[in-house]
Structure 1
Amino acid sequence: MKPELHRPLSLDQIGPRGLDLTVEANPTECSALAIRMHLPAVLALSCAFNLIRQGRDIVLARGVLHARVTQTCVLSLEDFDAPLQETFQVRFVPTEQQSDDIDPEADDEIPFEGNLIDLGEAAAEQLGLALDPYPRMPGVEIPPAEDDPQPHPFAALRRLN
Structure 2
Amino acid sequence: MTMNSEFSRIVDLRQIGDEPVVLEPTEAERKRLAARFQLSEVKAMQATISLRQEGNSVEARGHLAASIVQACAISGEDFPVTISEPISLRFVPPGAAHDPDEEIEITADDCDEIEYEGTSFDLGEAVAQSLALAIDPFAEGPDADKARAEHNLGGDVATGPFAALAALKKD
What is residue 130 of structure 1 aligned with on the other side? 134
* More moved, 143-152 vs 107-116: 143-152
What is residue 81 of structure 2 aligned with on the other side? 82
User: Within the alignment, does 1:24 sit opposite 2:24 as a pair?
Assistant: yes
User: What code does the residue aligned with 2:25 have?
Assistant: A
What is residue 50 of structure 2 aligned with on the other side? 50
Give, in angstroms, the shift of residue 88 of structure 1. 2.0
Aligned in 2, Cα 1:139/1:97: closer, same or farther, shift over 3 Å? same
State the Cα deviation string for residues 25-75 of structure 1 (Å, max 9, x = none): 001101111111111221111110011112x21011101001111111011
Give, in angstroms, the shift of residue 19 of structure 1. 3.6
- Asked if the contact 1:49/1:63 (under 8 Å) is kept, the reply is yes
Provide the alpha-carbon RMSD of the alignment: 2.5
State the Cα deviation string for residues 126-145 of structure 1 (Å, max 9, x = none): 10111012111136335444
What is residue 159 of structure 2 aligned with on the other side? 149
Aligned in 2, Cα 1:103/1:133: closer, same or farther, shift over 3 Å? farther
Separation in 2, partners of 1:99, 1:19: 29
- How many residue pairs were aligned? 155
Aligned in 2, Cα 1:43/1:63: closer, same or farther, shift over 3 Å? same
Name the SS for the 1:6 alignment partner.
coil
Separation in 2, partners of 1:139, 1:78: 8
Which structure carries more strand by proportion?
1
What is residue 11 of structure 1 aligned with on the other side? 13
Overall identity of the aligned pairs, in %: 34
Structure 2: state its 5+ residue gaps.
Answer: none
